[in-house]
């Protein structure tokens, strides 16, 4: 005769099911909001592309990279540590950051507004990283095995790197670029020196996107081990 499952096991099974539900919600949300951002970029890209306004093209490419970065980094975060209970603050910040992102993507032909809005967007992402670090620490008791602890250490290390270095640099550079375009419009706009600023932004975006790819490659074994452990416990 089979013994009924214990209360602890029932709780683990319920949590595993809820974790799966939360991950599904997160992945759906990420795809929807970044799909909306892509729609804004497509609408902004039509005239510069058909009219061969080549000086706008670096902004379009950077905008596409911004969308890919948000989508890929959010995906990595979801697979790495998102679970039950659902964190509304984290989700609301996604909506707020995407609103600013979409506004910036609508200004690909206006460098002054582009850099100003992207400075605000970088600040919003900075706040999102800080919020997520708090969320990671709250989920720390869920990481128990050696592979899970290695994953936790890598998550915290990356969050701290972005909070202390990457996002402050992004905010500072975009803010400086806005100030230069605003203070010296003739040199930056008429003489097209703004292309140097967007070129540097483009290089940073490419490097950051590739960093996310390497991040997932490094974590995929740990993520798989954690998923296997949770399935075994349930």
Judge whether 178 lies within some domain: yes
More reliable by pLDDT, 24 or 208: 208
CB 71 within 8 A of CB 7: no
The band of 3, judged by pLDDT with boundaries at 50, 70 and 90, is: very low
pLDDT at 118 over 90: yes
pLDDT at 20 over 80: no
Token readout for 139 is: 């989920």
The parent domain of residue 99 ranges over 7-233
pLDDT at 18 over 80: no
Judge whether 122 lies within some domain: yes
Q: Who contacts 159 (Cβ-Cβ below 8 Å, separation ≥6)?
A: 129, 132, 133, 136
pLDDT (average), residues 211-234: 81
pLDDT in tens, 129-150: 999 999 888 888 878 788 889 9
The band of 234, judged by pLDDT with boundaries at 50, 70 and 90, is: low
Q: Which of 86-90, 124-128, 218-222, 230-234 has the weakest average pLDDT?
A: 230-234
**H/E element holding 223?**
helix 194-233
pLDDT at 1 over 50: no
Judge whether 125 lies within some domain: yes
DSSP labels for 68-103? HHHHHHHHHHHHHH--SSP-HHHHHHHHHHHHHHHH
Judge whether 2 lies within some domain: no
Judge whether 55 lies within some domain: yes
Specify the number of domains making up the chain.
Answer: 1
pLDDT at 8 over 80: no
pLDDT, averaged across the chain? 87
Judge whether 162 lies within some domain: yes
Judge whether 130 lies within some domain: yes
Judge whether 1 lies within some domain: no
pLDDT in tens, 31-87: 999 999 999 999 999 999 999 889 999 999 999 999 999 999 999 988 887 766 677
More reliable by pLDDT, 4 or 77: 77
């Amino acid at each position: 005769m089979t013994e009924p499952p214990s209360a602890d096991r029932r709780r683990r099974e319920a949590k595993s099911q809820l974790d799966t539900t939360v991950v599904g919600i997160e992945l759906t949300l990420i795809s929807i909001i970044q799909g909306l951002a892509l729609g804004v970029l497509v609408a902004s890209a039509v005239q510069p592309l058909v009219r061969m306004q080549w000086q706008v093209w670096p902004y379009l490419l950077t905008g596409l990279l911004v969308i890919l970065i948000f989508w890929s980094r959010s995906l990595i975060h979801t697979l790495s540590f998102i679970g039950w209970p659902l964190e509304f603050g984290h989700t609301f910040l996604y909506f707020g950051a995407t609103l600013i992102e979409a506004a910036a993507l609508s200004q690909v032909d206006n460098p002054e507004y582009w850099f100003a809005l992207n400075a605000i967007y970088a600040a919003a992402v900075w706040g999102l990283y800080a919020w997520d670090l708090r969320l990671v620490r709250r989920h720390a008791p869920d990481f128990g095995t050696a592979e899970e602890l290695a994953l936790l250490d890598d998550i915290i290390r990356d969050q701290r790197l972005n909070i202390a270095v990457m996002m402050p640099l992004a905010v500072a550079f975009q803010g400086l670029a806005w100030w230069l375009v605003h203070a010296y419009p003739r040199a930056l706009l008429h003489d097209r020196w703004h292309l140097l600023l967007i070129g540097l932004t483009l290089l940073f975006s490419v490097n950051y996107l590739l960093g996310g790819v390497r991040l997932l490659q490094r974590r995929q074994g740990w993520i798989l081990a954690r998923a296997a452990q949770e399935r075994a416990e349930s």
